[in-house]
């Protein structure tokens, strides 16, 4: 094995972290508002693909899959690894099938293929970091890199927004906030899961939390506070809380509109809350639910990645001289899945995601899952491109299948 191969196997996860947390492509310009960010995402989607992103992930995918099979690593992982991985990849298969009813099948195929590459690359990168014992070093290097680029952005005078909120090298303070929240949870979860002896762990954790507070991102601050609170509660109570939160979200955002629609008395949360609820989300949700009913899409959806981020602006958002034509997200992960797959398939997908986490027996990992569920009430960040919340889910998934007791067969751990 040459030096480049050894480096990628050992530190490929570090490279992935650099990309997913925005460190590889830092934004050192003046910061955007949330609406400007929606507009920028729409323009990027219309303009085409990101070549750097494609090359990076395609190269990592080819390298890891080749290493996994050609070097015989596939013989060294447990049955649990294959069962859970195949279950997770069922979601990609469902996404591909949605091309049959999408008006943009090429977008469905492209985005589903990216998810296959993204999921496989993260899981295999985690595996190689695990067996090469570089997982601890990879997360530490990520934290140091994040702190360094944040300091650079501040020194350059572009780290803060006009209202003195820390945006660092992200597009805006909310993006900086959720990335910091995920980094804090990842840092803490890896230490707890593998008993890593991070140097200056408490000091670094405090520094990351201070930066989070400086973002003034209320949602992200709440999520981290919630995470640490739940992490110190008995496992059975955390599990019960997670199930209640998830069941409530499924009932409110998915079952309520579906059942009321079937009973010819269509009702949804968009009618329940004020239009200005959660910075205008009530207004957006109401339009989206009305769209699903008007075009009779409650049972099928539009296909994976076929509503937002396509060449045509959604019908009810295509209003001249209005800000709503720049909306490029449902700002709710459950509704976003609903738009793409319809009610029944969305519920099945959520059930599969939950089944993939079967066997978790630690409060901090379940607390991390709770954060993912809660965040998806306000943002569409789950099973969507390379968002940090989606990365967090895949990291918790990887932790669940790569433990010394369960997921590596006895014998040599080398590649």
Question: Reduced to 3 states, what is the DSSP secondary structure of residue 377?
Answer: helix
Element (H, E) at 368: helix 363-378
Residue pair 252/267 in contact by the 8 Å Cβ criterion: no
Backbone angles phi, psi at 408, to 5 degrees: -120, 125
Distance between CA 248 and CA 338 in Å, rounded?
16
Instruction: Tell the residue number behind the tokens 């990992």, with chain if given.
Output: 365
Backbone angles phi, psi at 307, to 5 degrees: -105, -65
Instruction: Please list, in sequence order, all residues whose beta carbon lies within 8 angstroms of the beta carbon of residue 164, skipping any fewer than 6 positions away.
Output: none
- Among 237, 148, 226, 122, smallest CA distance to 181 is for 226
Positive or negative, the CA dihedral 128, 387, 247, 314 is negative
Q: Residue 304: left if φ>0, alpha if ψ -120 to 50, beta else—which one?
A: beta
Distance between CA 110 and CA 151 in Å, rounded?
36
Residue pair 110/141 in contact by the 8 Å Cβ criterion: no
What single DSSP character describes residue 317?
Answer: G
Q: What is the pLDDT of residue 361?
A: 85
Q: What is the pLDDT of residue 31?
A: 66
- Among 373, 381, 394, 382, smallest CA distance to 251 is for 373
Long-range contacts of 1-5 (CB under 8 A, 24+ apart): 1/415, 5/63, 5/67
Residue pair 124/8 in contact by the 8 Å Cβ criterion: no
pTM: 0.92
Alpha carbon 249 to chain centroid distance? 17
Q: What is the pLDDT of residue 114?
A: 95
In 256-319, alpha helices (H): 256-262, 269-272, 277-294
Alpha carbon 108 to chain centroid distance? 18
* Polymer length of the chain: 415
Element (H, E) at 223: helix 218-231
Tokens of residue 130, six digits: 């695990």
Run means of pLDDT, 10 residues per run, the chain, 415 residues: 87 96 89 51 46 91 95 88 94 97 96 96 96 96 98 95 92 93 97 92 97 97 98 95 97 96 95 91 96 96 95 92 86 96 96 92 95 95 89 96 52 32
Distance between CA 349 and CA 3 in Å, rounded?
41
**What percent of the residues of the chain are helix, what percent strand, and what percent coil, each to the nearest 5?**
70, 0, 30
Q: 62 vs 46, 127, 185, CA distance in Å?
A: 27, 15, 29
Distance between CA 70 and CA 374 in Å, rounded?
41
């Amino acid at each position: 094995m040459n030096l480049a191969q050894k480096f990628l196997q050992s530190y490929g996860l570090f490279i992935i972290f650099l990309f997913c947390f925005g460190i590889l492509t830092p934004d050192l310009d003046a910061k955007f508002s949330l609406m400007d960010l929606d507009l920028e995402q729409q323009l990027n989607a219309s303009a085409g693909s990101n070549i750097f992103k494609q090359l990076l992930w395609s190269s990592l995918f080819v390298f890891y899959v080749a290493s996994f099979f050609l070097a015989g690593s596939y013989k060294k992982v447990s049955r649990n690894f294959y069962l859970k991985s195949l279950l997770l990849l069922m979601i990609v298969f469902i996404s591909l099938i949605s091309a049959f009813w999408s008006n943009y099948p090429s977008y469905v195929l492209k985005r589903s293929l990216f998810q296959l590459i993204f999921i496989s690359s993260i899981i295999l990168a985690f595996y190689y970091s695990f067996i090469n014992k570089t997982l601890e070093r990879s997360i530490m290097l990520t934290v140091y890199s994040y702190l360094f680029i944040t300091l650079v952005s501040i020194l350059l005078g572009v780290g803060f927004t006009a209202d003195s909120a820390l945006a660092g090298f992200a597009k805006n303070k909310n993006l900086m906030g959720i990335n910091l929240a995920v980094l804090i949870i990842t840092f803490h979860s890896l230490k707890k899961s593998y008993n890593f002896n991070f140097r200056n762990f408490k000091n670094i954790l405090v520094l990351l939390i201070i930066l989070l507070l400086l973002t003034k991102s209320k949602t992200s601050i709440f999520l981290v506070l919630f995470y640490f609170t739940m992490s110190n509660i008995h496992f059975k109570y955390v599990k019960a809380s997670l199930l209640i939160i998830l069941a409530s979200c499924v009932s409110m955002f998915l079952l309520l509109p579906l059942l009321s629609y079937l009973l010819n008395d269509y009702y949804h949360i968009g009618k329940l809350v004020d239009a200005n609820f959660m910075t205008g989300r009530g207004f957006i949700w109401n339009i989206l639910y009305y769209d699903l009913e008007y075009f009779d899409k409650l049972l099928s959806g539009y296909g994976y990645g076929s509503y937002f981020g396509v060449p045509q602006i959604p019908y009810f958002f295509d209003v001249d001289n209005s800000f709503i034509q720049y909306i490029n997200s449902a700002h709710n992960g459950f509704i976003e899945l609903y738009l793409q797959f319809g009610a029944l398939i969305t519920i099945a997908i959520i059930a599969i995601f939950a089944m993939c986490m079967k066997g978790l027996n630690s409060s901090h990992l379940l607390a991390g899952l709770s954060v993912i569920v809660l965040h998806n009430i306000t943002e569409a960040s789950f099973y969507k491109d390379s968002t940090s919340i989606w990365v967090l889910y895949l990291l918790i998934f990887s932790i669940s299948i790569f433990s010394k007791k369960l997921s590596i067969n006895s014998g040599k751990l080398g590649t």
